[in-house]
């Protein structure tokens, strides 16, 4: 907004300069005009046409030059500001990644010490807290990596295989939490221009979100659907669903649908960043039988 105001200011100043220079030039050129001025039959002055055209052309050229110089200066200032903000963002992400990396080892040691203690309610709570903290640290590392991700033109991923591999990997956690998991639509290879790490992290976050907010004994479904112009990765749960007014907010960093629950508040923001990096989007709908459907929309051909 500040940049637009500056451009508007420079434009107004340029117009005023044009008017002023034109007026001054016309006054200064008046003595040169007089020898060429002739009287019409009505007794009016009739200066030659080329004189005002020359003055206007000169003034306009000078005005455009001044405006161009001011605009180029503004562009350089805005570019320098953008570079400064970009460096600050890179430093912030680097600091977060370094801090999270340094926390991994002490958390692993702490978990090992807890596992060596006699199992009781206290040690169980301590173990759960350490596991939760470790997951938050992992999310911070993933977030730092995802922010700088670029999908290369030659990268391809078999979505069907990725879904099946992820379901097999996360199934023990799903079962441990008293849920079941199923995969639909992954019966044939579907290759797409995508980053495998990013898509896997996005899908994993959606499944973990479904585990958190679905009821015990329910089924979590991962469905791959071909919509013609795009592929959809749908994660369907049988939980409480997501209120309409919260469906955009939950994808912001550190936002959760239920603040009473545990979590880093980064999972769904990672999903949205992955979608955007692939030229797609993420959305939420109501499940037909209750619950929520999180949809990762991936275009068949990535926009360049």
Both 116 and 250 in a single domain? Answer: no
In a domain, 304, yes or no: no
| Domain limit, last residue, from 86, 105, 135 | 86
In a domain, 24, yes or no: yes
Element of type H or E holding 294: strand 292-299
Counting the structural domains of the chain, the total is 3
Which range marks the domain in which residue 130 is found?
90-147
pLDDT of 172 above 60: yes
Both 101 and 82 in a single domain? Answer: no
The overall longest dimension of the chain from CA atoms, in Å, is 118
Q: State percent of the chain over pLDDT 90.
A: 23
Q: Which residue has the higher pLDDT, 254 or 40?
A: 254
The 8-class DSSP code of residue 97 comes to H
Segment 255-283 mean pLDDT: 74
**CATH number for position 138:** 1.10.287
**CATH number for position 244:** 3.30.565.10
Task: Give the tokens for residue 97.
Answer: 């990644």
Both 223 and 293 in a single domain? Answer: yes
List, for residues 76-90, the tens digit of each pLDDT value.
Answer: 777 877 777 767 666
List, for residues 120-153, the tens digit of each pLDDT value.
Answer: 888 888 888 877 777 777 777 777 677 777 788 8
pLDDT of 167 above 90: yes
pLDDT of 36 above 60: no
Q: Which residue has the higher pLDDT, 12 or 239?
A: 239
**Residues contacting 162, CB < 8 A, separation 6+:** 196, 199, 200, 203
Going by C-alpha positions, the residue among 207, 215, 158 that lies closest to residue 187 is 158
The 8-class DSSP code of residue 132 comes to H
User: Is 143:149 a contact under the CB 8 Å cutoff?
Assistant: no
Work out whether the CA dihedral 281, 99, 197, 224 comes out positive or negative. negative
In a domain, 123, yes or no: yes
| Domain limit, last residue, from 70, 86, 102 | 86
| Domain limit, last residue, from 102, 124, 147 | 147
Going by C-alpha positions, the residue among 135, 16, 22, 6 that lies closest to residue 74 is 6
Both 184 and 268 in a single domain? Answer: yes
Task: Give the tokens for residue 245.
Answer: 């007014």
Report the distance separating Cα 73 and Cα 67, nearest Å.
10
Kindly report the pTM of this predicted structure: 0.60
Both 74 and 97 in a single domain? Answer: no
């Amino acid at each position: 907004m500040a940049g637009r105001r500056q451009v508007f200011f420079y434009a107004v100043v340029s117009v005023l300069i044009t008017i002023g220079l034109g007026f001054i030039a016309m006054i200064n050129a008046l003595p040169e005009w007089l020898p060429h001025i002739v009287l019409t039959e009505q007794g009016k002055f009739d200066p030659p046409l080329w004189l005002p055209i020359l003055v206007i052309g000169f003034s306009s050229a000078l005005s455009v030059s001044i405006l161009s110089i001011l605009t180029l200066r503004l562009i350089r200032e805005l570019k320098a500001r953008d570079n400064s903000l970009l460096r600050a963002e890179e430093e912030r992400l680097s600091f977060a990644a370094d801090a999270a990396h340094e926390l991994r080892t002490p958390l692993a040691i702490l978990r090992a010490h807890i596992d060596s203690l006699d199992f009781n309610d206290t040690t169980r709570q301590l173990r759960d807290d350490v596991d939760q903290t470790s997951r938050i640290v992992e999310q911070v590392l993933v977030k730092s990596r995802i922010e700088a991700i670029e999908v290369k033109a030659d990268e391809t991923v078999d979505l069907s295989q990725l879904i099946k591999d992820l379901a097999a990997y996360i199934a023990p956690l799903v079962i441990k939490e008293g849920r079941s998991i199923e995969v639909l639509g992954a019966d044939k290879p579907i290759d797409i221009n995508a980053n495998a790490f990013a898509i896997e992290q996005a899908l994993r976050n959606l499944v973990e979100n479904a585990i958190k907010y679905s009821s015990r004994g329910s089924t979590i479904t991962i469905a791959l659907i071909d919509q013609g112009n795009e592929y959809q990765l749908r994660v369907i749960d049988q939980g409480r669903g997501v209120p309409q007014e919260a469906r955009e907010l939950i994808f912001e960093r550190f936002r959760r649908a239920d603040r009473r629950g545990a979590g880093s508040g980064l999972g769904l923001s990672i999903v949205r960043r992955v979608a955007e990096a692939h030229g797609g989007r993420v959305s939420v709908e109501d499940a037909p039988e209750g619950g929520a459907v999180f949809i990762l929309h991936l275009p068949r051909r990535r926009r360049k």
